[in-house]
Structure 1
């Protein structure tokens, strides 16, 4: 993509994010005014406020971008019926997953602010079960709101049903992926296929495939002739994105991560990066890595030592090469869409995985 086209694309994506953020804020304002909360209680309004705060703290809004750009494969109309509701739905599902992820990981910070779980722990010191229960229920509420926003969309019944089927399947697949993600770490050395399966179910299906399906549905496209291509693209981009996240978690710096590196190591996650290090490590090096895996108090010096082991092995370079390879395969898949869909949007989907692969050295 030439510099002029790349600049125009970045502005278009920024416009998607700005439009959505305004719509998301308006949604929560309406919700606070219209939600049928039980009388004589303050916990439900406070729960809605915590969901609002987490949701509006943002993130890259990649799912929203994918949804709008998938619609643009067919139509230039950003106001297609159902498109705005689909965008709200994918981000409310994301809020649900973040709330529950932070409970599973006992994370204190998310997007530069307190996690919902830790906000409740701070609000109810000494009442850990209450804090846990309220956080779980907050996540559940976000999940059901993500479906309700589609149920209330002013679109033909057939489109509403198709969108609900996409989101329901994405949500159930993601929960299955979360379960497999926890099982993965009981394998001393999970094989690559297991890691690919975790990535596909836990993230690619809801973060990439579902938004693309929803965007195409809103644009009036029949998914059946294209679904195999969408699945292949989503899986490749999902692996690319997870490789990037795993690489940066160990090799990134504090300013890029907004948190200290080594989080996966301390949590005991056998990620793409840590699996590759263990697979290539000799006895002494493996003992160092295994001792650090799952140690929440693992000091920065030990994280640096694991990084040094990876660099001596050449594992850092291997991970970057794998990341580029998957990005190129995803870009090649998107390039085959030329002639089938609008070239401007096809170019974006071709460019996106290569963009993800940048910034890892």
Structure 2
């Protein structure tokens, strides 16, 4: 990434964070709830805190850069689309943390743990309010599009994109949980989970929304967009799984080995189980799903992976999928603007390099 591109990306993030804060200011003042309700404004406040605590806003970046494929001029509708994308992400974080029983998110308490602290003697109330908080974020992500000052046809198309992305993500969550009940998750299952759970709402949907806002018809190029999103999604999930075991905890700001302790059959775990000896496989399986697994045990599993060439193999796989995604984007040059095509061409390679 050139400095010019990095500056542009940082600009998207700064502008959106201001927009998101203003959105929640308006929402907090005008949410339609009975005057006696205390739980409703508390729910909105928790969604606000989670939403504004950070994140790279890469979905917002993809949205804006997709519009730049068509034009460098300002485009109406990008603000509403960006809010919709990140509200859907907030929904996903709330429910992800509930499913994973995660106490923290983005340097603060997860919504489910915040509600547990709020209602220590009423676990079902805490559970119910967590689910409803996530549901509210999903509904708001669609409402912000329905309220956007855009032509009706564009509004409808954007809502269809986000509705489909949300449904695909729910299926992705289901098959992600199902995956961990298999003895060994094969490559196609892992790719399918990455596609449904992440790529379709994090990459494909923002690109579709950006193109729609800029007056383009993404349905005319859907197979290319799907191919690109799937390949980038696979790279991204591989990178996350790789860093979970082989990353630097100090740099990441969180401990390694989470997938091992949670018993997740991730790309890394699958690669480990296929590369180790019978004796080493017993050690890996003993650690898999052990919530009390010590840092020393995680370090031992990491060493096994390094000695068996798992790091080298995963790095090569990530680069191969990144190069395939880059080649798909390169094919857009005859149709769309060179500068934006170059961004999408370089993005997967840059993403992979962050893991190496």
TM-score under structure 1 length normalisation: 0.97
Q: Which residue of 2 aligns with 1:248?
A: 243
Query: In the alignment, what sits opposite 1:137?
Result: 132
State yes or no: 1:224 paired with 2:219. Answer: yes
Please, which runs of 5 or more residues in structure 2 have no aligned partner?
none
Of the three residues 30, 33, 40, the one matched with 2:29 is: 33
Equivalent residue number for residue 71 of structure 2: 75
Q: Which residue of 1 aligns with 2:53?
A: 57
Spell out, residue by residue over 1:255-298, the C-alpha distance to the aligned partner (whole angstroms, 9 max, x if none): 22211100000000000000010011221111111111111110
Q: How does 1:210-221 map to 2 (within 5 A)?
A: 210-221=205-216
Query: Which runs of structure 2 are paired with 1:1-361 in the superposition (5 Å)?
Result: 6-78=2-74, 80-361=75-356
> Aligned partners of 2:138 and 2:354: how far apart in 1?
33
- RMSD across aligned C-alpha pairs, in angstroms? 0.9
Length, aligned pairs only: 356
Structure 2: how far apart are the matches of 1:169 and 1:20?
Answer: 24
Shift of 1:170: 0.2
* Whole-angstrom distance in 1 between the partners of 2:312 and 2:68: 36
How far does the alpha carbon of each residue in 1:325-352 deviate from its partner, in whole angstroms, 9 at most, with x for none? 1111111111111121111111110111
- The CA deviation at 1:188 is 1.0
CA apart distance, 1:245: 0.2
3-state SS of paired residue (1:70): helix
Q: Quick one: distance in 1 between partners of 2:99 and 2:111?
A: 12
- Are 1:249 and 1:263, in contact at CA under 8 Å, matched by a contact in 2? yes
Q: Is this contact kept in 2: 1:249–1:257, CA < 8 A?
A: no
Deviation at 1:126, TM superposition (A): 2.2
**Mapped partners of 1:35, 1:265: distance in 2:** 42
- Distance (whole Å) between structure 1 residues aligned to residue 57 and residue 290 of structure 2: 32
**8 A Cα contact 1:93 1:146, kept in partner:** yes
Runs of 4+ in 1 over 4 A off after TM superposition: none
Q: Deviations over 1:15-37 (max 9, x none)?
A: 11111111000000000111111
Residue 211 of structure 1: how far off its partner (Å): 0.3
| Cα distance in 1, alignment partners of residues 257 and 219 from structure 2 | 42
Alpha carbons 1:70, 1:215 under 8 Å: kept: yes
My pick for the range that moved more, 250-259 or 171-180, is: 250-259
